[in-house]
Amino acid sequence: MSSWAVKLTLWCTGLLVAALLSIFLVVGVAMVVAYPNLPDISDLADYKPKLPLRIYTADGQLMGEFGEERRQLTPIQDIPQVMKNAVLSIEDNRFYQHGGVDYLGILRAGIANIGRLKSQGASTITMQVARNVYLSSEKTYTRKIYEILLTYKLEHLLTKDQILEIYMNQIFLGNRAYGFASAAETYFGKSLKDITIAEAAMLAGLPKAPSAYNPISNPKRARSRQLYIIERMEDNNYITSAQAKTAKAEPLTLRSLDDKRTLHAEFVAETVRQMVFAQYGQETYTRGLNVRTTVNSAEQMAAYKALRQGIMDFERRQIYRGPEKFIDLPADPKKMDEAVDEALEEHPDNGDVMSAVVLEASPRKVVVVRQNGEQITITGEGLKPVQSGLSDKALPAKQVRRGAVVRVTQTSTGSWEITQLPEVEGALIAITPQTGAVRALVGGFDFAKNKFNHVTQAWRQPGSSFKPFIYSAALEKGFTPATVVNDAPLFFDAGVTGGQPWEPKNYDGTFEGPMSLRRGLAKSKNMVSIQVLQSVGPRNAQEWIGRFGFDKDKHPAYLTMALGAGSVTPMQMATGYAVFANGGYRMQPHLITRITDHKDRVLVDSPTPSNPEETQRAISARNAYVMTSLLQEVTRSGTAARAQATLKRPDIYGKTGTTNDAMDAWFAGYQQNLAAVVWIGYDSPRKLGDRETGGGLSLPVWIGFMESALRGVPVSEPALPEGLVQLSGDWVFEGSSKEGNITSLGLGQESPAAKPSSAPAAEERNRILDLFRR
């Protein structure tokens, strides 16, 4: 080699060494300057991420989750090996070998960044933890230096398993899910411990780009990455070639928002959230509280389905109000798909009442398309609910035509029909009479549509479903089930009303003459109830109903109380009927039994009481027994005879209720171990329909719920308490002579209704005229 070549080589080598020394010097100075500014990472040794409030049923099903981040903190030893292997294969296969920084990877990324003037990552899992927990996501050389320094600190402070545990719990994986345990529940509806190789590979593909590789919104890209990860797992000897082949062929069942496996308990969860927030404030959403409730998941689902079915059955009898919107459908298929997607985004599915766009319409056939591209052809019975909208004479705003946004649903037979979102609302509450434990609560047709909880917040007139509480008061005043009352016209003159005279009527407008108290309640005779209350005294009755948990000031002491003109909530009605069911005890409804933190330390322990105490007694056991006997007659031969006939069991008790002008429809009833109340009506009170009653509208919902809740439950009728004897074929309180009991009322004597009432005349007149205007 010539001398000039040697000199050139030495000169180049010197320049290279100088350049490298300069780089190391600059980096070293930068690190020295940066190191004191690094955040304190000692708290990671006791990793405490934000954990949401999670609410469970009594049998352990998740009902609700509240917090910015969905996360289930899972210790490293509880994370299945298949999940760890999938993550290591794609994110950092040498994780347990390197010291936190992959130098070859950094050099490779640096060259790529210089060449492209665009950043490229080569982050190890430790570096990702440093970035995700403490640093921003910007890709600059300064942040990279901080990231490397933090990585060294983490590797020095924590073990490899601790670092991996933080990563597996901290990483964002889309759909508000943080950590792989939460992601398994979010995407597959299952516990992390139960996932397969194929599911683990799908989840492992999410950290790189949670949106781009989301299996729900981007199934093709997610599938491509899943297959690549399975191959990496095979290459790294985590799985065999046979396992890889099986995993690639395995069909995945994703959990969608309208998944039928989802437990619909949104109103319960929100009620519990409010109760917990009142105790813990903002910490409610970050400290990982787990709340166990009294709700039974099977009964909750049965209640949800029964109420929705009842409301949708009612909706089929209503006039079609027209499509929700009209859109133009372009001829170009791609543009048409975009137009359909945009329209249906604005009109999301409401459970099983799904949105669709009409492609073609005629009186005999309608073709619609769903957001997923599925086309549905509807004919025959499926068109009946919208027949008026298919007529040529239909107004443009109500016509079902191409471009109309409509609702479709599947019937019990599997066929499709066009329907509409209901305007009417409803509520169903079920409790254990002996303890007050809430077993099921549905506060409305759909929580997303209307968050108002009608079980606890809706104050409505109870109508005839309130009569049993008046009859209970009458039993204490000497009435018996055999007491005869004359179902005859009543007349209240101006001296009673303080204004014009009026005549109350029975619901059907007919009168049947003398009848027993038992038959009067079974047939829900208004004339009988009014005379009973007149005899008991409105003031006495007002005091008596307070024993059942009703607000006395919401039930003024007027004769209209006999017909349920006051205000109640469905929850109050359930509490009141539970008193009859449990033998006379007033039990306070309750939801929460236990609250623990994320380490399962008990914060609140409120077990359900086993038996009522005498201090909780509201009425005598004999009063409750006789009332149960009277309410059994209602479900056997009265306005709710459909109940025993359908359920095919005698231990069913309850009362229908329909308010003035059919604005509220009720059924309240019980089996000895389960009390349930159903209400249906409009939020802004208006007529449900001339033929709509509690027996026709709410009773079928109650029966539908009880069919499921009582399946396999043996018949159980209350034991005869002390203090009752039979006289003239019916029950009488022991110790009362025949003369001491009221045997007849309104027969051959001055009508008690003609006597002046103690209530203020003008208010009495207004209430009665409003209630009986027919």
The catalytic residues are 91, 464
Integer angstrom CA distances of residue 584 from 162, 342, 467, 550, 729 = 58, 57, 17, 15, 24
Report the distance separating Cα 657 and Cα 698, nearest Å. 9
Q: What single letter denotes the amino acid at residue 121?
A: G
42 secondary structure, DSSP code: G
261 secondary structure, DSSP code: T
Report the distance separating Cα 756 and Cα 737, nearest Å. 30
Report the distance separating Cα 562 and Cα 538, nearest Å. 9
Integer angstrom CA distances of residue 640 from 68, 604, 634 = 47, 42, 6
Label residue 414 left, alpha or beta by phi (over 0 means left) and psi (-120 to 50 means alpha): left
User: Nearest 5°: phi and psi at 753?
Assistant: -70, -15
Alpha-carbon torsion angle 293, 299, 305, 308, nearest 10:
-60
User: Are 406 and 356 spatial neighbours (Cβ–Cβ below 8 Å)?
Assistant: yes
CB atoms within 10 A of CB 616: 16
CB atoms within 10 A of CB 470: 22
Nearest to 528 by CA among 538, 537, 518: 518
Alpha-carbon torsion angle 66, 427, 630, 718, nearest 10:
-20
Report the distance separating Cα 426 and Cα 698, nearest Å. 9
Give CA angle at 670 (664, 674), nearest 5°: 120
User: Checking DSSP bridges between strand 375-379 and strand 365-369, what pairing results, if any?
Assistant: antiparallel
Q: Which residues pair with 172 in a beta bridge?
A: 178
Report the distance separating Cα 461 and Cα 261, nearest Å. 36
298 secondary structure, DSSP code: H
Please report, in angstroms and rounded to a whole number, the separation of the first and last CA atoms in the chain.
Answer: 121
Nearest to 279 by CA among 603, 508, 33, 498: 603
Instruction: Find the helix packing angle between 160-170 and 81-91, rounded to 10°.
Output: 90
Report the distance separating Cα 618 and Cα 252, nearest Å. 56
Report the distance separating Cα 355 and Cα 347, nearest Å. 6
Using only the alpha carbons of the chain, give its radius of gyration. Answer: 35
